[in-house]
Homo-oligomer: A and B are copies of this chain.
Amino acid sequence: MTDERSHPPQAADAPSDATVPKVVVSRLSLYLRELQRLVASGQQTISSSQLGTLLGFSDAQVRKDLGFFGQFGYPGVGYRCDELIRAMRDILGTNHAWSVAMVGVGNLGQALLGYRGFGRQNFVIAAAFDADPAKVGQTIQGIRIQPLDELAATIRDHGIRLGMIVVPAERAQEAADRLVAAGVEGIVNFAPVTLALPPHVQNVGVDLAIELEQLSFAVTSKFARAPAEPPGRAEP
């Protein structure tokens, strides 16, 4: 497959040095998610203001965000959905598949093993580990649970670069240490603790109770900031 392209969309040659704010990257994921939905429903092109409206952002913000990475639009037309999707996947690194190692296969871990959404974005849970001897050896959602002793070897053999921690809070730091020792470069942590990690290991924490706490605050507090203006459903 050759790369025949007419003109504008230059994914590469962006402000090449610039370091991009995290918040921009998180919006990128939302743009990508929405674009995928749009192509699925047959839409070919979209303008920054349409896309912004769907997600509750301004048109300027959409354009600025994309501007960090290059020029993807056609003046007077907007963005071609399929092209933009491809560009965003290149940027996010999800045009190729990622293998992920899961540590801890309890309630939540098992649910995540069965979650189809990962595969859709090119993430594959390639190995799963648990400390409980009763679980080791079982096959859940088509994946065989291995003992923790095998973690380092398996991760190295499969060239796994990302880990997912789904153990109880008390065991999370130990799990992280093992993943780091095995050479993992990034960790998603579902345990409700802050991990101590070397600076070259990236990490994202997901604390389910904290998400509810944030809602509790937003719903109750006189200090809560009014939401800018979310997509649709407003009343006059």
Contacts and interface: CB of A to CB of B under 8 A. Distances in A.
Contacts of A111: 107-108, 110-112
Given A192-B117, A206-B208, A215 B20 contact: no
A98 to B, nearest CB: 6
Contacts of A18: 223
A18 B221 CA distance: 11
Given A108-B115, A219-B93, A224-B20, A162 B212 contact: yes
A25 B214 contact: yes
Nearest to A37: B193
B219 A202 contact: yes
How many of these chains are in the complex?
2
A201 B100 CA distance: 35
Interface size range of chain A in the complex: 35 or more
Interface in A171-200: 180, 185-188, 192-199
B211 A54 contact: no
Contacts of A219: 93, 161-162, 185-186, 202
Given A111-B108, A207-B33, A223-B20, A215 B199 contact: no
Contacts of A107: 110-111, 114-115
Given A107-B114, A111-B108, A198-B234, A26 B214 contact: yes
Contacts of A162: 212, 215-216, 219
A29 interface: yes
A50 B65 CA distance: 36
A61 to B, nearest CB: 15
13 contacts: A19-B224, A25-B218, A69-B223, A92-B213, A93-B221, A121-B209, A186-B218, A188-B211, A188-B212, A195-B231, A197-B232, A199-B230, A199-B234
